[in-house]
Amino acid sequence: MSGGHGRRAGPKRKPRQRIVCPVDISTISGLVTAVSLVGLAIFMGGGALGFVNVPSMLITLGGGLAATMTAFPLPKFLGAMGVVKNAFFSKPQSPIEVIKKLVEFSKKARREGILVLEQEAEGIDDNFLRNGIELAVDGMEPELIRSILDTDLAYVAERHRLGAAIFGKLGDYCPAFGMIGTLVGLVQMLQNMNDPAALGPGMATALLTTLYGAIVANVIALPIKDKLEARSEEEVLVKSLMLEGVLSIQSGDNPRVVEHKLKSFLSPALRAHEIGPE
């Protein structure tokens, strides 16, 4: 085993290319379109500056963020915020391409032995798949490989779930603080019924806090939550394919069996894709 690790650290190790994450067009265009439409409606009505109210922003945005931070331990809150980039930058891995790669690995392993995949692992960018191939090459028991990779997969899913949950809570709390701001504005207005000049600011605070809460929740927080959940499902599917593929390769399954086994994870539309010649 030590010889295998020594070869992986040798001078022939292939440098891994830096993965460029393209911008997620749907997220950016959706946010820009939603904000633009709301802004356009405001400008068409005239008096856009009347929709800017600092007290309302402090109550809605400040209160919503503070309540969200209260709901989660600070290290988890700060750590999960790194997941937000998945909503704006995508690193899509096609399940079909992953299956093709695993079937090719299966062919090489059957022709030349599983140790031939040691060099293949050096060029794999995905840490999950690379670790799985290396564990299989090192001759670990299938149960242990599954346990290690399942734990890794569960951690990834939990980290993504936490990131989505934070934005879900933000989407819940901002409208609630909007209602709090509405009550604050109404109280201020009622306290100054004898002063007509003070009625306007109180009413503005009352109405704009509700507006700000609805915009933050429905334009930003909840859509990002849903996008993060979709990204998590995609990544879990691909990593589940990798896990089953690694175990099938280690057990010496026929490449055609590997292909059919992994295609069972896919939707009927994707199953129609041909992986390639035998």
Which neighbouring-strand residues pair with 23?
89
248 pLDDT above the threshold of 60 = yes
Q: Is 204 helix (H, G, I), strand (E, B) or coil?
A: helix
Q: Which residues contact 81 (CB under 8 A, 6 or more apart)?
A: 163, 166
Asked whether the beta carbons of 120 and 105 are under 8 A apart, the reply is yes
Q: Are 165 and 221 in contact (CB under 8 A)?
A: no
CA 179 to chain centre: 30
Quote the percentage of the chain above a pLDDT of 70. Answer: 89
pTM exceeds cut of 0.75:
yes
Residue 112 confidence (pLDDT) above 50: yes
CB 220 within 8 A of CB 27: no
What residue type is 47 in one-letter code? G
Mean pLDDT across the stretch 85-109?
85
Q: Is 173 helix (H, G, I), strand (E, B) or coil?
A: helix
pLDDT of residue 3: 42
pLDDT score for 215: 93
Q: What is the 3-state secondary structure (H, E, C) of 26-72?
A: HHHHHHHHHHHHHHHHHHHHCCHHHHCCHHHHHHHHHHHHHHHHHHC
pLDDT tops 90 at residue 197: no
| Dist CA 190 CA 140 (whole Å) | 74
The tokens of 271 are what?
A: 């199953």
Which of the residue ranges 74-88, 94-108, 136-150, 212-226 would you say has the lowest mean pLDDT? 74-88
Give which of 24, 20, 43 is closest to 32, Cα–Cα: 24
The pLDDT of residue 171 is above 70:
yes
What is the rounded distance in angstroms from the CA atom of residue 59 to the CA atom of residue 167? 18
HSE-up (13 A, CA, CB side) for residue 138? 17
Lowest mean pLDDT, pick from 20-34, 79-93, 175-189: 79-93
- Per-residue pLDDT at 200 exceeds 80: no
Radius of gyration of the chain (CA): 26
CB 98 within 8 A of CB 258: no
pLDDT-derived band at 274 (thresholds 50, 70, 90) equals low
Q: With pLDDT > 90 as the criterion, what percentage of the chain qualifies?
A: 33
| Cα(264)–Cα(195) distance, integer angstroms | 72
Report the C-alpha gap between 83 and 165 in whole angstroms. 11
- Whether residue 86 contacts residue 231, with contact meaning beta carbons closer than 8 Å, is answered with yes
* 99 pLDDT more than 60: yes
Mean pLDDT of 252-276: 79
Q: What tokens does 42 get?
A: 């405001």
In this prediction, residues 169-198 reach a mean pLDDT of 86
Domain boundaries defined on the chain: 21-45+54-271
With 50 as the cut, is the pLDDT of residue 18 above it? no
